[in-house]
Chain A
């Protein structure tokens, strides 16, 4: 009898244990103990940056921080960009965001509205952080929710060999010169085309980087007082210009489903003479095609434009979870990454431009093209009007779809812009 009772107890015990394991697994680790018995705090930092830096470099920066702050430990959660975005969206929904999060400016409005990320203005004030040293801040309703740590600009990349072959002596600086150069490159024969325009709707950032960049390069804006202004003369002129490039047959085929990586690949293989792309790809192109002669330049502007040129950029932004119990420690880490010395180091290894305007990246061991791009960046101004907008990816996609209709001759520029304006107005209140 004793044996029977013991077996029954074992069965019940095993079932209970399995049920508890399943229950705990299902509930996640949102309330996991993150303060050790010695009082040290472990902060989770979810980002995609570590994966894009040379192996081990980001760990060194983190180790320096923990050496200076022994009571704060950093647990890096590194994943590719797209995975990070999805993980943060689900984390924000379930209130289980990591303590510190890598952010893209395009996500900020939605996370802030959701109450998922903390108001950094308050944290900066509490920590007596000097905000004047920051190159930029991403705000929603006057409160800072993201600070760009490293910026990556998108200049014009030009294949010098193709340009020379086409008989074009100078890198184009105006829209007319660009169209002329693109036509001449496309006329050289073979597969070569003047320009690549990625309009894939899965990741519609081609609208930001490859279309609106033409607008910003001429000092234009797609907004007026924070509201959509897509029917303005400047936006119309931009779309008409892109259409004229398409009508001239200088855009590489397949643009309606082309992705950013396809664009870079075509440029690397000499299939397109010019593209607008991230500086982050310079090393990739050099690695894959060491003998490719190319240079970077400011984006061409409207003929006769003499003002400063906006240059699109993307950022490795940083924010703090609103649900973390360690906001002060989290901001200490944020301020460390934005400190003059660390920020210079980070932007140097990332081949980007610093978020601290006093930090000077060291280009001595970098490709000279980075220095050229830095000069372009300093002569113009960083421009990305999608940063901080609600549902910015959706705004890009709806514009993308209308632009595709224009390029396939299914609608007029005016009609497409009117529909985009209507669509955007329903999102941007």
Chain B
């Protein structure tokens, strides 16, 4: 048996580099940074600088609307954290995001399971898929307008409930301090579940059928297969989606602003609307910045869990 060996190629020297490569070591080292520099510059200008400016504003007083700002230390933070409106907004936001995330998950999973079932025909599933995804196709402004009309005291929702005999008098869904938070949470759930549904459906379709067959051989019923096969397989997606949803929902502004404006009586005030009012109504950009930094820190806690979960995957 004979073998042919190729002549050993000489290692390129500084003078004998591969065509197309610069000869200088320094230049070669700089090239990756050169490619990266536009992105780095954009991130710096569009993200790092504004964040640093906001943090800087939060430690000063009379910012933006006054020519000479002064250093105020933690005074803005103290002011914000001792403001009952901020604490109410914090509580409302916690309720709003946690209920929304749980409902998004439950509804999204339920509809995803329905669309993944073998019991329905392809055409039926396609129709359901279109219907279920509809809320996600509307912009938030349209959603706010539609639901303001539907939830009006003389709107369709009250009409239907009254016709069915479920209510005696019209309910003031968005204008009643006791109901407004739940009404906007419901609207947010309605508008957000399709994203969960689509993501979970994709994850469901990626679960190997072998696992279900093996479980069936072991004599498990549908619920046991769901509990011991489906859920563990979906777990990484569920955790990622839930954490992302908590972050996104905590920043929901347009829906609240366009439906209740934070009212009535601050019962739907969120951290986002509180910050906006501080800045653009009271022109207190320093306290608005402090509130924004607090929101940033809270969100970073969630982001930390998200990144850790992604690393584990």
Contact = CB atoms under 8 A, between A and B. Distances in A.
Interface string B138-151: 00000000001000
B38 A19 contact: yes
Contacts of A18: 37-38, 41
A80 interface: no
A258 interface: yes
A42 B248 CA distance: 42
B31 A257 contact: no
Contact of B65 (A12, A93, A393): A93
B27 to A, nearest CB: 6
A401 B265 contact: yes
Contacts of A223: none
A173 interface: no
Contact of A391 (B35, B66, B175, B281): B281
Which residue, B172, B262, B264, has most C-beta atoms of chain A within 10 A?
B264
Contact of B261 (A22, A114, A200): A200
A23 B264 contact: no
A55 B291 CA distance: 42
Given A4-B22, A391-B282, A257 B67 contact: no
Instruction: Tell me the dominant secondary structure on chain B's binding face.
Output: loop
B232 interface: no
Contacts of B236: none
Given A3-B19, A93-B65, A201 B262 contact: yes
Interface string A248-265: 000011111111001000
Interface residues of A, number: 48
A190 B92 CA distance: 36
A123 interface: no
B311 interface: no
A4 B24 CA distance: 10
A115 interface: yes
Contacts of A165: none
Contact of B175 (A8, A115, A257): A257
A295 interface: no
A54 B23 CA distance: 67
A4 B38 contact: no
B46 interface: yes
B144 to A, nearest CB: 11
A251 B5 CA distance: 97
Given A15-B38, A19-B37, A7 B20 contact: yes
Nearest to B27: A8
B41 A19 contact: yes
A1 interface: yes
A256 B153 CA distance: 12
A367 interface: no
A420 interface: no
Interface in A1-55: 1, 3-5, 7-8, 11-12, 15, 18-19, 22-23, 26
Contact of B259 (A7, A15, A257): A257
Q: Among A114, A252, A254, which residue has the most Cβ atoms of chain B within 10 A? A: A254
A401 B23 contact: no
A203 B259 CA distance: 12
Interface string B261-292: 11111100000010001001111010000000
Interface in A62-98: 85-86, 89, 92-93
B281 A408 contact: no
Interface residues of B, number: 49
Contacts of A203: 261
A23 B152 contact: no
B280 A110 contact: no
B258 to A, nearest CB: 8
B241 interface: no
B64 interface: yes
Contact of A93 (B46, B64, B176): B64
Given A11-B34, A200-B261, A89 B280 contact: yes
A8 B35 contact: no
Contacts of A202: 257-258, 260-263, 273
A138 to B, nearest CB: 18
Contacts of A405: 265
A256 B65 contact: no
Given A22-B42, A115-B67, A401-B266, A394 B259 contact: no
Contacts of B260: 200, 202, 257
A153 B23 CA distance: 77
B12 to A, nearest CB: 13
B37 A391 contact: no
B90 interface: no
Contacts of B170: 253
Name which of A5, A114, A202, A393 has the most chain B CB atoms within 10 A of its CB: A202
Nearest to B49: A26
Contacts of B37: 15, 18-19
B174 interface: yes
B15 to A, nearest CB: 9
Contact of B66 (A15, A26, A114, A200): A114
A113 B65 contact: yes
A271 interface: yes
B313 to A, nearest CB: 33
Interface string B59-72: 00000111100000
Contacts of B240: none
Name the residue among A19, A201, A203 with the largest chain B CB count within 10 angstroms.
Answer: A201
A11 B20 CA distance: 12
B189 interface: no
A191 interface: yes
A397 interface: yes
Given A404-B264, A408-B265, A26 B281 contact: no
Contacts of B257: 202
Given A22-B41, A397-B281, A114 B265 contact: no
Given A26-B49, A256-B175, 7 more contacts: A4-B23, A7-B22, A22-B45, A26-B45, A93-B65, A253-B172, A401-B265
- 3 shortest A-B CB distances, which residue pairs? A202-B261, A256-B264, A253-B153
11 contacts: A4-B17, A4-B19, A7-B20, A8-B31, A18-B37, A89-B280, A201-B261, A256-B264, A259-B261, A408-B177, A410-B265
Interface of A: 1, 3-5, 7-8, 11-12, 15, 18-19, 22-23, 26, 85-86, 89, 92-93, 110, 113-115, 191, 199-203, 252-259, 262, 271, 391, 393-394, 397, 401, 404-405, 408, 410
